[in-house]
Structure 1
Amino acid sequence: MPAFDPTLAEIRFGCGLSPNIAPAQSVAAMLATLQGPDLAAARHPIEPFDTFRARIVRYNEQGRLRRDSRGTAAEKTALKAMRVMNKQARQAQMTWLGQSLARCVTTQAPFRERLSAFWADHFTAQGKAALMRRAVSPYVEEAIRPHLSGRFEDLLIAAVTHPVMVSYLDQRGSVGPNSPRGKKSGGGLNENLAREIMELHTLGVGGPYTQGDVRALAELLTGLTFNPQVGRVFRKDSAEPGPETVLGKDYGGDPARLTDIESALRDLARHPATARHLARKLAVHFVADMPDPALVQVIETALRDSGSDLSAGYAAMLAHPAAWNAAPGNVKRPFEFMASALRALAMPPESFVPLKEKRFREYIQYPLHLMGHSWERPVGPDGLSEDDSAWITPQGLAARLQWALSVPQILGGTLPDPREFLITALAGRATPAVQFAAQAAESRADGVGLILASPAFQRS
């Protein structure tokens, strides 16, 4: 039966092989990297959401000044200030993409980076208006990264009650029909957040819930909103009065109501259907589009029996022989491909993080888009596709080849000898065709590019 393989650990569960960073030598070593300080985040910082929230406050102040001074010079000054702030936030968002890549390139805890990306995708969110559209990375930094190895219920609460999620799924405007505010203004109930919590974040499509459960959870969530001045808040005047019954259990009566919301979320997180849903998602993401049912089962059992302990689920996944099947696994998604290529080349972060906006778009952001991944611009709340077919498209493959043949040389200058790079990037996974391409390449750029574009490098 397949057993732990350090090379496969880096390629399938990490950010790819690196000439400078030794692979983990055991499952225990991989799991140990999830504990302790987040060194990659410290070295390559992304703005915390609280800091970003201060940007929103300043932007809103200028917006009010603009509205209050129509037709005056003060209006033009305020409008100019708002445009500057929009530009600064846009540029910051690109810098955070660079920092996210830098973390993958330099980290000695690559499993941590992969899990951060996995859960950020599971809890896909994007602010809908003004500066909030640029707040995804700060949201991930605050709601996702601190909870990667704890209990799923804590991650769930942090993510789905976060201001960015509240904005994305229109929870801010959800008002209980019988609440004081609802009776006064006629505001309506919005079920978006409640539905996605059940369908995407916990129980899964086809899970054991009804439309009545969705509505009851939506009513329980009324009042949950955010204020840029303080962050997450609860508005009692918007909350639907009385208890709510979700999956047969009553919630209600707490004056603050947030306690009731968190109790319902904890119960959903611990539900057996949630363990089943998360187990399959983990197996599909890390191992194969059609994972071994036994692998899914052991992850599910670990999550269920541990009370949603994520580390127990990861340990079960990594301990199962199916996780170490040497057959080529999933196609790397565009960000994973680009990050693993830069890691294999030991590309210094200074070569791409501080690029001017035009160059960064040309070498990083736009190529990702051509490969099929518009960074932090989700098509829907279900996140990026896990199906290999979504990434194996003529345009996507052409974009990968073009990037691999041109951008590494632009960013890194002198490239390694392709014959040596073949060992660095693929170790013993290089096929005869790739070996021939590396030896026969007319230039280092061509050789390195062909290795990066090869099916052997494109899959985990």
Structure 2
Amino acid sequence: MRFDPHLAEIRFGCGLSPTIAPAQSTAQMLAGVAKPDDMAARFPIEPFADFQTRIAQGIEFNQIRRKNRGSDEALAAKKARRVLNKETRIAQVGWLGQHINRWVHTDTPLRERLTLFWADHFTATGKAGLIRRAASPYVETAIRPHITGRFEDMLMSAVLHPLMLHYLDQAHSVGENSAQAARGGKLRGMNENLAREVLELHTLGVHAAYTQTDVRELAELFTGLTHTKFFDLQFRKQFAEPGTETVLERTYGGTKNPHIRDVKAVLHDLARHPATARHIATKLAVHFTGDTPDPALVAALETRFRDTDGDLAQVTAALVEHPAAWAPQLQNVKPAFNFLASACRALALPSGALPQLEERLARRLIVRPMGQMGHFWEKPAGPDGLPEEDAAWISPQGVAARLQWAITVPQQLMDAPPDPRDFVHSALGPHATAATVFAAKAAESRWDGVGLVLASPAFQRT
């Protein structure tokens, strides 16, 4: 395998930058991911524990309103709740800006790519109220710290996170023979969503050899998992289905007092299941190399996953060290966020440009165009996250939105354009085609030339 620094930045990183030198070896790439997380410190995103303070404030304001209906105090609490809602909405847009800033300024871009990949693998978001703004704090707390750890640790961190329990309707799942069900009332039904997605999406994969019985038994084992009103994880024994549960021919539970340790035991086993190794290997290979990855690459990733008990640092090393991952032709189409963020990196967008954007302007220049390209920020269509297939990103509407953004938005984000005759090479490196070089040189204005480079087919692929 011959290492290509330009391809490394485009395929495994955040795109080429005119100011940040690309890594010169796979060892440097991997060492960068292992070092302290400088971008998280420089461009902070609120951790989930801090977001819980917002939730607590909202609960307090609602309690004041209920206890003091019709009073000035209730009116003040209502206004304070509206301010809290607005501040949290603005913060969510600001966190998007921080995600982009990390892409623009990092010298360890593989970390940002891995974070985005795993955040999508464990998609979760809130459904109503303040919690619908919590996806970035969830990723910051449950996903980002684990990208070079064991898959098992990330699996538990994500699946047992209160946002995931909320998103997949687990919080009110009650065993049919539980103490809670015997009392009657509203909370007496079991929900299979979390169990199904853990098997189908998070671990074994949709084509693995599990049955509906496995789904139901796992759902029964998960009963008791919930969260408090402040979104702390909680296991309620009175919700839990009594007795043993059998998942993939292994038996769990059965003790007198149901316990969360039974849930952790099944997650431990699922994380080490051979089908999980195959599923994760395939998904990584597709994401980084193409819709039809080389079988040898998938096999190498699967073997490394199994041999290391899901050590993600070792699995990542197997990915970037495999010859099949370095095919010179750019294949995968960039998803919408990757396109926008890599464009900002190619432009060396100043770090203050995005945080200084007023919320409405940020939505007009970033959030809305991203949606037109097919990615509705932190509003997933389902728990399976974003599509990997290239066809999903090159629809007529999506391509038109990319072209429109490339031509019009960069000049609204920064004052002076780069010279397109230089920009075409700094943004594309050796992948700049003769046609793109000519278009950049012949453009009527500098901004037109920059836009043509960003809209070029080569810039759309990794």
1:284·1:386 contact (CA, 8 Å) conserved in 2?
yes
Amino acid at match of 1:336: N
- Please, what TM-score do these two structures have when normalized by structure 1? 0.98
Q: Superposed, which structure 2 residues align to 1:124-143 within 5 Å? A: 124-143=123-142
1:391 matched to 2:393? The reply is yes
Amino acid at match of 1:103: R
Question: What is the SS of the residue equivalent to 1:350?
Answer: coil
Q: Superposed, which structure 2 residues align to 1:319-398 within 5 Å? A: 319-398=321-400
2:127·2:167 contact (CA, 8 Å) conserved in 1?
yes
Supply the distance in 1 between the matched residues of 2:174 and 2:119 (Cα, whole angstroms).
28
Q: How far apart are residue 255 of structure 1 and its match? A: 4.5
Q: Which runs of 5+ in 1 are unaligned?
A: none
Aligned twin of 1:295 = 297
Amino acid at match of 1:52: F
Aligned twin of 2:431 = 429
Question: What is the SS of the residue equivalent to 2:94?
Answer: helix
Q: How far apart are residue 407 of structure 1 and its match? A: 1.4
Aligned twin of 1:24 = 23
2:147·2:312 contact (CA, 8 Å) conserved in 1?
yes
Supply the distance in 2 between the matched residues of 1:185 and 1:170 (Cα, whole angstroms).
19
Amino acid at match of 2:423: F
Amino acid at match of 2:349: M
Q: How far apart are residue 13 of structure 1 and its match? A: 0.4
Aligned twin of 1:58 = 57
Match of 1:286 among 288, 298, 301: 288
Q: Superposed, which structure 2 residues align to 1:107-122 within 5 Å? A: 107-122=106-121
Amino acid at match of 1:130: G
Q: How far apart are residue 321 of structure 1 and its match? A: 1.1
How many residue pairs match? The answer is: 459
Aligned twin of 1:413 = 415
Question: What is the SS of the residue equivalent to 1:351?
Answer: coil
Amino acid at match of 1:361: R
Question: What is the SS of the residue equivalent to 2:226?
Answer: strand
Q: Superposed, which structure 2 residues align to 1:34-433 within 5 Å? A: 34-185=33-184, 187-229=188-230, 231-252=232-253, 253=255, 255=257, 257-433=259-435
2:162·2:231 contact (CA, 8 Å) conserved in 1?
no
2:242·2:258 contact (CA, 8 Å) conserved in 1?
no
Question: What is the SS of the residue equivalent to 2:233?
Answer: strand
Q: Which runs of 5+ in 2 are unaligned?
A: none
Q: How far apart are residue 254 of structure 1 and its match? A: 8.1
CA-to-partner distance for each residue in 1:329-381, whole Å, 9 max, x for gaps?
10001110111111011111201122111111111111111111110000000
Supply the distance in 2 between the matched residues of 1:216 and 1:383 (Cα, whole angstroms).
25
Supply the distance in 2 between the matched residues of 1:410 and 1:265 (Cα, whole angstroms).
48
Supply the distance in 2 between the matched residues of 1:34 and 1:258 (Cα, whole angstroms).
32
Question: What is the SS of the residue equivalent to 2:171?
Answer: helix
The alignment-based identity, stated in percent, is: 59
CA-to-partner distance for each residue in 1:412-444, whole Å, 9 max, x for gaps?
111111111111101111111101101101111
Amino acid at match of 1:69: N
CA-to-partner distance for each residue in 1:373-405, whole Å, 9 max, x for gaps?
110000000000101111101111111111111
- Please, what TM-score do these two structures have when normalized by structure 2? 0.97
